[in-house]
Structure 1
Amino acid sequence: MSDESPILRSLRAAVAAAPADVPLRLHFAELLLAEGRNDEAVAEAAVALQHAPGDADARALMARAMGFPPTAPQSPATAPQSPVAASEGPVAPAPAGPPVFDWDAAEQQVGDLVGPRFADDSGSGLEDPLAADGPGNDPGDVSAWDVDAPGAVRLADVGGMQEVKDRLEAAFLAPMRNPELRKLYGKSLRGGLLLYGPPGCGKTFIARAVAGELGANFLSVSLSDILDMWIGTSEKNVHDIFETARRTAPCVVFLDELDALGAKRSRTHHGGLRNVVNQLLTELDGIDSAANEGVFVLAATNVPWDVDLALRRPGRLDRTLLVLPPDAAARDAILRYHLRERPIESVDLPKLVKATEDFSGADLAHVCESAAETALLDSARTGHIRMITTKDLLGAAKQIRPSTDPWFASARNVATFANDGGMYDDLLAYLKKKRKL
């Protein structure tokens, strides 16, 4: 239909949106007939007759599309006379009219073009309303959720951050890779892993790297994927997501922004959100069951203190990992990545790495972008292309305040005064090391 005129395309879309609009469908059929597309016009007229049986305009259009001569309207002289009129005197015989249109034959000819309006296996003439979506459109079907195949990203692709990698290996990856040792030492696989820390520091990237290390599929879930206006649908979405993970195991389910998905129920006034947390707890409780073999749950949040405590109970998201701003090695790798395709000259990378302490990965990308903008504007003003220099990068870094500072300001109070059960001991140790307490 690439050669179809714009008006036909528009009318085709309009008819698809309002299939019961008979005048609109007949107008569309008229245009098809005018362009010589008789078969399509016949099909449209037949559908119109299904919606409006006996419609004279639809019958006339179908007759013309099938090549039958038009039926002329009968004049008073040729119209059949009543018995009373016939008794008044002889009347001249009416001239032979056009042949009568055979509707039964016409319906047989278009039967293979237009299917019945209602059909089912039982012959009752009613369709199952739940079957209208067809296979593959059910929310619980695998195709309803975007499951990424095992990626090539590994922990080796994460620059620096060796302490994070070591803790991931000890707390999560080593038991997964060595089932016999896990069984020997009674190491349980119950529960999941919660990544927390300031925004823009690579929690999602690390989660993908973990999936790559495990050779597992990756299913990322956010609040917009789950919440629905209809009662009960949000909880069903949570269940369907975990069912999808079970069918595509091994699979990592990544719950992004867990503070939105699993906010503290005591502070939540919306009943739907509380029900989502309850359903999430139910799914997490089954992580160690046989049906959930090969399903690994990772979650990320910037504000772990806003996450419902029940989600962090043993057997659920009971292991936590603090993801801090990139260390020197990581900053070096990130800066090299963002400068790799830009024109640079004699950049003192060690000096720049030192000047960007506490910067997040997003902050470092912004530094490179700002430095490139400065060089571009100078080139536009002078008419001479110049390279990005250390001065440009250091100037950009000086103007940008680390986005992690506000996070640490909030986290400091929580770690100091609400460190129940040593939940934030690793954060306290970091703050003391950096003398931020």
Structure 2
Amino acid sequence: MSTISETLKTPSTDSLPFPDLELESETPATEASTKSKDEPPTAPSELIADLALRRALGRNGRRLLQKGGALVLVLHVPTAAWVEAISSAANRLLGHKAVVLQAKTNQRRYSETLEIQVTHALERNVPVLAVSQAPDLYLPSVVTGAADLVVHVPPPSPKLMGEAIAAWCRSQQPRGLKAEDLAGLDLPDLSASLRPGSKTPEICIERLRRAARSRTVAHRDDDTPRLEDLHGYGPARDWALALVDDVARLRRGEIGPDALESCLLFGIPGTGKSTLARSIARTANLPLFQSSIAKFFADGPGYLDSVIKQMNAFFDQLIAAAPSVGFLDEVDALPNRATLSHKGADWWLPVITNMLLRIDQVRATKAGVVLLAATNHVERVDAALRRPGRFDRTFEIMPPDEEALIAILRLHLGADLKDADLTPVARLGQGATGAVAVGWIRAARQRARLAERMMGLDDLLAEAAPVDPRSAEQLRIVAIHEAGHAIVAHRLNLPVLSATIMASDTAGGSTRLNITGLTPDRITLEAQVMAALAGRCADIVLGQGANAGAASDLKEATRLVAALHVSFGLGETLSYRAPQQDALSTLMMDPKMAATVEADLQRLMARTMVLVESNIAAILALTEQLLAKRVVSAKEIASVAAAHLPSSKMSIRKSLVLC
């Protein structure tokens, strides 16, 4: 590799001697004297880069470069893939006499040495050319600060790419090339469309369109629904529709790129977070780039520098293709610094910091990048990553309700079961995610194929609610238990969503309450405890006595009472001793607190027994409905409760106060 001194003796290009700097010249020193600065490019990448650079420089910029001398030129290129080609094009304009710095990664650790080398070159009237996809991040300040000219080289427009095609095919400039034909394409994609033997511009344009279709969800051969066809996403869908409207306004020039918001989606697996991201890109007709922490590892050898390089390449693509959508899945795989061990911090902190800086850069460039991220565990995501300015909005994606589940089934069924009433399927499948519902359809179609017939509603019902293998006696025991939960919760004014005797992996049945929005006082917390104990009480009063099936109910009741004392300050003491999710652990270490919790549980159990005994008629009526339908809705529970009033005249509120 040449040194600065050797460079000054000849008109050849120099490469600064740093092992991590990518400084190799496009033109070896031995060829410099034979290569004319006006020689036309011979490769597609050279042709495109030459046209892009000349357009970005303008006439005055080209004159400045051709003049040469002690000049520091910084070129900001779209992505790392452009660095070498633009370096070569600029160096041709400089007569192959420049010291070339190609910075695809952070080179600031070389600032002191570079200062000496750059100064040495300028003192001897040698131009310095620095090329990077992120000059402010990767170039040392000695270079950016000394720059005589900073030129931003944007991705090729349809007009410029048309000129490249015309020059390559030696034809007139083609018509009909649109921005969407270049959406998401990097220099290698553009270069691949211009090949030896490409005789007509139409062939090149078709190659570009095929490449763009592979990047853009709107043109992909997949079944991603448009936003208007999505169901069950609540406020997240409303935000997404408003975002698509903003993208349209951006294209009309009514708003700036900085008006586009970013968002973090969270929820249990299978709720459709990835589908929403793809739907946003499709509806807005924007290129979509998807990645994850795992992909940053998988696309390289997994060393620290390679992970950061893959991350940087992802963000560089987003900026180069803007307006665009970037989707980071499973973002909780990036550790939370608040819980990161000292051993892991040495490795992970540079990765976390780089992620935060690159998100800041994407938002600061105001290029029109929509950043989306998804996680199943929002509590594990670093607070700095979640803050507004990085991700402006955070939405929980819940499993669809009955109406939304019917719409999801209808969408994915297509022409199948066109006139069928899907309400029984949605009701029996309550609590299922959209991914599970799509799985029912796939399995139902397979069932029909194996039977060599058309799919029927029974096939779908069989997948959503398989035949229960339990005996009639076992089902009645479960129905009594769940009816006790539902009726007592309703009497205590807790919002009941549904009850079912359909078994899951963890329970023989379930009653769903909606208590996430409550800020409870002691009376409300004790009402929740009584609702949890009501199934056991119903077993005792109407079933075959207490059984082991109420273990999870007892755990939740115990946790709530313990949290009342050690987390919420609603007991006899104000001291905070543990977060509510860890309240149970305090009982093992504090016998006195365990005795206090046990006394409260016994008192609330007695009150719940009174409620169950006064609502026997309602519980038995709901039991019969559960046995007949397997699932009952909130409206049906309320109807049964209204038709069978409690035998006790004491108000529920008064009974809670007295207990």
2:380 alignment partner in structure 1 = 306
The one of 446, 457, 462 equivalent to 1:390 is: 457
Letter matched to residue 335 of structure 1: L
Match of 1:122 in 2: 29
2:654 aligns to what? none
1:274/1:282 Cα in 2 relative to 1: closer, same or farther (>3 Å)? same
Alignment of 1:117-156 (within 5 A): 121-123=28-30, 140-141=80-81, 142=186, 148-149=215-216, 151=218, 154-156=226-228
Gap change, CA 1:212 and 1:387, over 3 Å in 2:
closer
Distance of aligned partners of 1:373 and 1:176 in 2 relative to their CA distance in 1, 3 Å threshold: closer
Q: Distance in 1 between matches of 2:448 and 2:260?
A: 53
Q: Deviations over 1:69-116 (max 9, x none)?
A: xxxxxxxxxxxxxxxxxxxxxxxxxxxxxxxxxxxxxxxxxxxxxxxx
Q: CA contact under 8 A between 1:359 and 1:403: conserved in structure 2? A: no
Bigger Rg over Cα: 1
Change (3 A) 1:159 1:318: closer
Point out where structure 2 has 5 or more consecutive residues left out of the alignment: 1-25, 32-43, 47-77, 82-185, 190-210, 220-224, 467-501, 521-562, 568-633, 638-659
Query: In 1, distance between residues paired with 2:234 and 2:261?
Result: 24
TM-score normalised over the length of structure 1 = 0.52
Cα distance in 2 for partners of 1:155, 1:329 equals: 17
Q: CA separation in 1, counterparts of 2:434 and 2:504?
A: 10
Task: Give the % identical residues.
Answer: 27
CA deviation profile, 1:137-179 (whole Å, cap 9, x unmatched) = x993236899723616531232454543223345x44555446
Alignment partner, residue 339 of structure 2: 267
Please give the alpha-carbon distance, in whole angstroms, between the structure 1 residues aligned to 2:506 and 2:308. Answer: 34
**Which structure has more RCO (C-alpha within 8 Å, separation ≥ 6)?**
1
> 1:191 touches 1:316 (CA, 8 Å); kept in 2?
no
CA distance in 2, matches of 1:404, 1:208: 33
Q: Alpha carbon RMSD of aligned pairs, Å?
A: 4.5
Deviation at 1:397, TM superposition (A): 1.4
- Which structure 1 residue ranges, 5 or more long, are not aligned? 1-118, 125-133, 380-384, 419-432
Correspondence 1:322 to 2:322: no
CA 403–321 in structure 1, closer or farther in 2 if over 3 Å, else same: farther
Any conservation in 1 of the 2:45–2:188 contact (CA below 8 Å)? no
Distance of aligned partners of 1:167 and 1:244 in 2 relative to their CA distance in 1, 3 Å threshold: closer
Distance, in Å, in 2 between the alignment partners of 1:395 and 1:216 is 40
Residues 121/148 of structure 1: CA separation in 2 closer, same or farther (3 Å cut): same
Residues matched between the structures, number: 278
Deviation, 1:301, is 1.0
Residue 236 of structure 2 is matched in structure 1 by: 164
Shift of 1:188: 6.3
Supply the distance in 2 between the matched residues of 1:280 and 1:396 (Cα, whole angstroms): 43
Q: Which amino acid aligns with 1:352?
A: V
| Structure-1 separation of matches of 2:412 and 2:458 | 17
In structure 2, the CA distance between the partners of 1:276 and 1:338, relative to structure 1 (3 Å rule), is same
- Of residues 244, 256, 259, the one that matches 2:329 is 256
Q: How does 1:275-314 map to 2 (within 5 A)?
A: 275-289=350-364, 291-314=365-388
Match of 1:335, SS state, is: helix
Q: Does residue 238 of the first structure (1) align with residue 297 of the second (2)?
A: no
- The 3-state SS of whatever aligns with 1:317 is coil
| Residues 287 and 295 in structure 1, CA contact (< 8 A), matched pair in contact too | yes
Distance 1:295 1:401, change over 3 A: farther
Q: 1:346-391 deviations in whole A, cap 9, x for unaligned?
A: 74322222222221111112222333444455x3xxxxx4443333
C-alpha distance 190-352 of structure 1, shift in aligned 2 (>3 A): closer
Quickly say closer, same or farther: Cα 1:403–1:280, change in 2 above 3 A.
farther
**Cα offset for 1:300?**
1.0
2:247 and 2:260 in contact (8 A); partners too: no
The answer to whether the 8 A contact 1:311-1:317 is kept is: yes
Do structure 1's residue 371 and structure 2's residue 441 form an aligned pair?
no
The AA in structure 2 aligned to 1:310 is A
Shift of 1:298: 0.7
TM-score normalised by the chain length of structure 2: 0.36
Is 1:221 aligned to 2:291, yes or no? yes
- 1:209 corresponding residue in structure 2: 279
- Distance, in Å, in 2 between the alignment partners of 1:402 and 1:364 is 15
Whole-angstrom distance in 2 between the partners of 1:404 and 1:167: 35
